[in-house]
Amino acid sequence: MNAQVDKVYEQVVARNRGEVEFHQAVREVLDSLTPALEGHPEYTENGLLERLVEPERQIVFRVPWVDDAGNVQVNRGFRIEFNSALGPYKGGLRFHPSVNIGIIKFLGFEQIFKNALTGQGIGGGKGGSDFDPHGKSDAEVMRFCQSFMTELSRHIGPNTDVPAGDIGVGGREIGYLFGQYKRLRNRYDAGVLTGKGLGFGGSLARTEATGYGTVLFAQSMLGTKGDSLEGKTVAVSGSGNVAIYAVEKLQALGGKAVTISDSSGYVVDEAGIDLDLLKQVKEVERGRVADYAARRPGARVATGGSVWQVPCDVALPCATQNELDGDAAATLVKNGCGVVAEGANMPSTPEAIEVFQKAGILYAPGKAANAGGVATSALEMEQNASRTRWDFETANAKLTDIMADIHDSCVETAERYGQPGNYVLGANVTGFTRVADVMIAHGII
Ligand code: NDP
Ligand code: 2IT
């Protein structure tokens, strides 16, 4: 790190006390920017780093709602409008009991660079609430979403800020959120949210996009070594939207996913995950991975440790931040894993990343590997703005092209800076320069 980077990082820690995930995300980006700052005094002169780490706007609000028993419940809502240099703020909403401002800020910060990598003219933002949808009735989820949107609707719009899903926010929640926005604003602004149902402006391939994109990225990385996913054994964590469609794409490309997980444990299925059963249990029944194992001969449930103990060629962390630590990374490497592509946001700890990089394996950070979700959200916005609707093949082909482009940009940047194969540098420097150059053009704002 250079002195300026150190100073900015220290300021972030001092000004955002206790927000450890945000500190971690900033550190990871700043650490790899040193080569991009050298020879570019304009970035320093224009206070680029200082401005980038400070969100343009932070909205925190009360979300009161009434549960089925008639009790008043109060949650906290967040929307961090981080950076709008490249376009309207864009990024998901997370509903999970662990949500706090530091987590939303880390996600919003990552989103700036991820969205820049897509090349689609979208700024970075993120939001959510400490509401836990698990175990809630549909009616409770609806009332919560309506209360959440009652405040959020003042701050968003198709050209201002466009939320979507993330952990705990899928098609059901986006439907309730859209309904309430439409009612409050008396505007059918289809482009105000993405991840919508297909009947009201949703895009084909958005549901699949993040998981598909992550696997496409892993395939491209293997391609640089003349290899492919065909015949590879793959450890996948999570069992939500990203994990399910990662498994689907893996199978299409000849790979075999042998694990899934959730917060209660993990399942090993040596014969390969049964995708239809997984979708039935998780998407239709909203069940647990143990329910999958109970109905799948040969699959076993494990409660201690993690999926990273299961020998694999490729690892796809698709659950949540910091789910893969230094020890898990060492175990993966020891067992012969040669590729890690992050479907989740910041799933690998800094120690884990160091292990991967020292071992020289192919490692893709989430902001590159999981960008297919937000990229397809931007395709949804494009369809909404022009009142058109593409078929699955069209949307999927665009997603595939965008992922290839992100991969190649990371590779080229890493090579240009003398660190071939360093996807962390490739992603951070590419994203940063795209945003930084536009921020300079816009003046000090
Ligand atoms: P879902 O809510 O559909 O699924 C989340 C999965 O991760 C569930 O299996 C959940 O288990 C597990 N999980 C969540 N939190 C924890 C935790 N603290 N400990 C253990 N397991 C946990 O979310 P998504 O699949 O959409 O998101 C997964 C990851 O991908 C997140 O990091 C998200 O930010 C990222 N991402 C998502 C995108 C999208 O388009 N949806 C786009 C890009 C990134 P349980 O049900 O037990 O909580
Ligand atoms: O982390 C992410 O990129 C997402 N949750 C998707 C954001 C979006 O706007 O589609």
Q: What is the CATH number of the domain that holds 281?
A: 3.40.50.720
- Give the number of the atom of ligand 2 that is nearest the alpha carbon of residue 206: 10
Whole-number pLDDT of residue 304: 84
Q: Are residues 35 and 82 in the same domain?
A: no
144 CA to centre of ligand 1 in angstroms = 20
Task: Count structural domains, the chain.
Answer: 3
Whole-number pLDDT of residue 3: 87
For the domain that residue 103 is a member of, what is the CATH number?
Answer: 3.40.50.10860
Residue-number span of the structural domain to which 50 is assigned: 1-54
Whole-number pLDDT of residue 1: 57
Q: Which long-range contacts (CB under 8 A, 24 or more apart) does 168-172 make?
A: 168/94, 168/95, 168/96, 168/128, 168/131, 168/132, 168/133, 168/134, 169/92, 169/93, 169/94, 169/95, 169/128, 169/195, 170/195, 170/240, 170/241, 171/195, 171/196, 171/197, 171/202, 171/207, 172/138, 172/141
Residues with CB under 6 A from ligand 1: 96, 98, 165-168, 210, 238-243, 262-264, 318-320, 343-345, 370, 373
Q: Are residues 334 and 355 in the same domain?
A: yes
- Single out the catalytic residue among 114, 126, 367, 398: 126
Q: Within a domain: residue 426? A: no
Domain boundary among 336, 369, 402: 369
Q: Within a domain: residue 43? A: yes
Q: Are residues 273 and 230 in the same domain?
A: yes
Q: Within a domain: residue 396? A: no
Whole-number pLDDT of residue 413: 98
Q: Are residues 234 and 358 in the same domain?
A: yes
Q: Report how far residue 99's alpha carbon sits from residue 27's, in angstroms, rounded to the nearest whole number.
A: 20
Report which bound ligand comes closest to the CA of 98: 1
Q: Within a domain: residue 399? A: no
Active-site annotation holds for 196 = no
Q: Are residues 276 and 364 in the same domain?
A: yes
Q: Are residues 42 and 69 in the same domain?
A: no
Q: Within a domain: residue 438? A: no
Q: Are residues 12 and 124 in the same domain?
A: no
445 residues of the chain, pLDDT tens digit each: 588 899 999 999 999 999 999 999 999 999 999 999 998 999 999 999 999 999 999 999 999 999 999 999 999 999 999 999 999 999 999 999 999 999 999 999 999 999 999 999 999 999 999 999 999 999 999 999 999 999 999 999 999 999 999 999 999 999 999 999 999 999 999 999 999 999 999 999 999 999 999 999 999 999 999 999 999 999 999 999 999 999 999 999 999 999 999 999 999 999 999 999 999 999 999 999 999 999 999 999 997 899 999 999 999 999 999 999 999 999 999 999 999 999 999 999 999 999 999 999 999 999 999 999 999 999 999 999 999 999 999 999 999 999 999 999 999 999 999 999 999 999 999 999 999 999 999 999 9
- Give the number of the atom of ligand 1 that is nearest the alpha carbon of residue 238: 9
Q: Within a domain: residue 199? A: no
From the list 351, 320, 360, the residue with the least C-alpha distance to 340 is 360
Q: Within a domain: residue 135? A: yes
Domain boundary among 369, 399, 419: 369
The dihedrals phi and psi of 393, each to the nearest 5 degrees, come to: -60, -40
Q: Are residues 246 and 318 in the same domain?
A: yes
Domain boundary among 304, 334, 369: 369
Alpha-carbon distance values, 308 to 296, 333, 342 (Å) = 21, 10, 13
Report which bound ligand comes closest to the CA of 345: 1
Q: Are residues 70 and 7 in the same domain?
A: no
Q: Are residues 22 and 118 in the same domain?
A: no
Q: Are residues 244 and 364 in the same domain?
A: yes
Which residues neighbour 125 within 8 Å (Cβ) at sequence distance 6 or greater?
79, 80, 81, 82, 83, 89, 90, 91, 108, 111, 161, 163
From the list 297, 273, 292, 271, the residue with the least C-alpha distance to 282 is 292
From the list 187, 127, 205, the residue with the least C-alpha distance to 378 is 205
Other CB atoms within 10 Å distance of the CB of residue 162: 27
Q: Are residues 174 and 262 in the same domain?
A: no
Q: Report how far residue 277's alpha carbon sits from residue 270's, in angstroms, rounded to the nearest whole number.
A: 15
Whole-number pLDDT of residue 303: 77
User: Six-digit token pair at 209?
Assistant: 């996009």
